[in-house]
Structure formats: structure tokens, C-alpha cells
């Protein structure tokens, strides 16, 4: 298995939520903190957090050794954050990083066990995604050989979707160990 980096997309302003979701507190941790925690627990060595709307406060969060990179183009959507994260990871290929596990910050129900299950497919040429009851979700695992292609096609709020539609993606069922629903509004928070 290739070494896997974690990438947390945490740049949005959370319009529907009413605040940046990276800063939502749930279970005693901010969403950005717990996402980093779960990626680390699943086995990701290097972790990059892409911040934007609340970059200063994200930098102040308890993220351990995770690297925070700022996306000044965050209003253009998740695609620009994905590109910024891939740019931050480009030099890691020489350090043996063969894949990146991408998570959005608003998925408190995605467990470290689900992330670890997807990471089990890590190779430099992998494309894999967790599924929840047949629907693709996160994490999305992108092998190093696909980074440039994803970077070129990531736009708006669709992230890597355009690239993934053009390639075979290994689907990894995770509904038995996690909930892949994102939190768009306060009422979506798990109880």
C-alpha cells in the first residue's frame, strides 16, 4: 500500500449553515479538528487543510502538525480548494506519498474506520471512493498518477467529479461503519 496524505477541504463560508462549517463545534471539537483527527487515526501521514473564508481561525484550531494552506479563490468553489491542496502535495511524491484521501469538512459521520477502509486501496494509480447505500461520498482516494488530471478539471463546486466521471473508480461500501451525509444546516447535525 502506498503512503497516503490527507486533504481537508475547509475553505467555504457555509452560507446555508450561517457560518464557516470548519468552525462548527460538535462533540467538543471543531469540524476541521475532528476531520484531521479521523484522517490521522486512519493512517494518513501528512495532512493538508485548505482554508479560505475563516483562514485565520482555522490556523488557530488544534490541528497538530497538519499544514494549513490558504485558498484566496475560495468563493469560486470547492474546485479551487482541491487544486490548491494538490499543489501543496505535489512535492510529496519524492517522499513516498502515493495517494491523497480527500475529505470535505462537513462530514462528521464519516468514521476513521471508513477512511481506513478506503485507504486500503491506496496505490499511485488508484481512484476510489467510499459509498453509502450505493451513493458515492467521501473520502475520495486519488492516486498520485491522477493528481495532474484532477487539478486540470477541478472547477466550481463539483471538485473532482468531472475527472472521476471519465475514469474507473473503485467503490468501497462503508455504510456499515459510517454515515456519509454532509451537514448543510444546523438541523443536519447528528444528535
In sequence order, the β-bridge partners of residue 9 are 50, 104
**pLDDT of amino acid 175:** 97
Q: Are 101 and 139 in contact (CB under 8 A)?
A: yes
**pLDDT of amino acid 16:** 93
Q: What is the pLDDT along the chain (191 residues), one digit of tens a residue?
A: 669 999 999 999 999 999 999 999 999 999 999 999 999 999 999 999 999 999 999 999 999 999 999 999 999 999 999 999 999 998 765 577 899 999 999 999 999 999 999 999 999 999 999 999 999 999 999 999 999 999 999 988 878 888 999 999 999 999 999 999 999 999 998 87
Provide the 3-class DSSP secondary structure of residue 13: coil
**Which one, of 137, 130, 83, lies nearest residue 106 by Cα?**
137
**pLDDT of amino acid 144:** 95
Provide the domain count of the chain.
1
User: What span, in angstroms and rounded, lies between the C-alpha atoms of 159 and 113?
Assistant: 24
Residue 185 lies in a domain: no
pLDDT in tens, 42-90: 999 999 999 999 999 999 999 999 999 999 999 999 999 999 999 999 8
Would you say the C-alpha torsion 15, 17, 21, 25 has a positive or negative sign? positive
Residue 95 lies in a domain: yes
**pLDDT of amino acid 155:** 82
For residue 46, count other CB atoms closer than 10 A to its CB: 19
Only one residue has cell 494549513, namely 68
With 0-12 / 13-18 / 19 or more C-beta atoms within 10 angstroms meaning exposed / middle / buried, residue 81 is buried
In sequence order, the β-bridge partners of residue 173 are 131
Residue 103 lies in a domain: yes
- In degrees to the nearest 10, what's the CA dihedral of 118, 122, 128, 133? -20
Residue 34 sits in a domain whose CATH number is 3.90.550.10
**pLDDT of amino acid 96:** 79
Residue 190 lies in a domain: no
Where in the sequence is the domain holding 88, given as residue range(s)? 3-179
For residue 161, count other CB atoms closer than 10 A to its CB: 17
Amino acid at each position: 500500500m502506498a503512503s497516503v496524505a490527507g486533504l481537508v477541504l475547509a475553505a467555504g463560508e457555509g452560507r446555508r449553515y450561517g457560518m464557516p462549517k470548519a468552525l462548527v463545534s460538535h462533540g467538543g471539537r471543531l469540524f476541521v479538528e475532528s476531520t484531521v483527527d479521523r484522517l490521522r487515526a486512519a493512517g494518513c501521514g501528512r495532512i493538508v487543510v485548505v482554508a479560505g473564508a475563516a483562514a485565520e481561525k482555522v490556523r488557530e484550531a488544534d490541528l497538530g502538525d497538519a499544514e494549513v494552506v490558504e485558498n484566496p479563490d475560495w468563493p469560486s468553489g470547492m474546485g479551487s480548494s482541491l487544486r490548491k491542496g494538490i499543489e501543496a502535495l505535489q512535492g510529496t511524491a519524492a517522499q513516498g506519498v502515493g495517494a491523497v484521501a480527500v475529505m470535505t469538512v462537513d462530514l462528521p459521520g464519516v468514521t476513521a474506520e471508513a477512511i481506513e477502509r478506503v485507504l486500503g486501496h491506496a496505490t499511485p494509480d488508484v481512484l476510489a471512493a467510499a459509498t453509502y447505500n450505493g451513493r458515492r461520498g467521501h473520502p475520495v482516494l486519488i492516486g498520485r498518477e491522477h493528481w495532474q488530471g484532477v487539478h486540470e478539471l477541478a472547477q466550481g463546486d463539483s471538485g473532482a467529479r468531472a475527472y472521476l466521471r471519465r475514469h474507473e473508480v473503485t467503490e468501497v461500501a462503508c455504510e456499515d461503519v459510517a454515515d456519509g451525509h454532509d451537514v448543510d444546516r444546523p438541523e443536519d447535525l447528528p444528535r
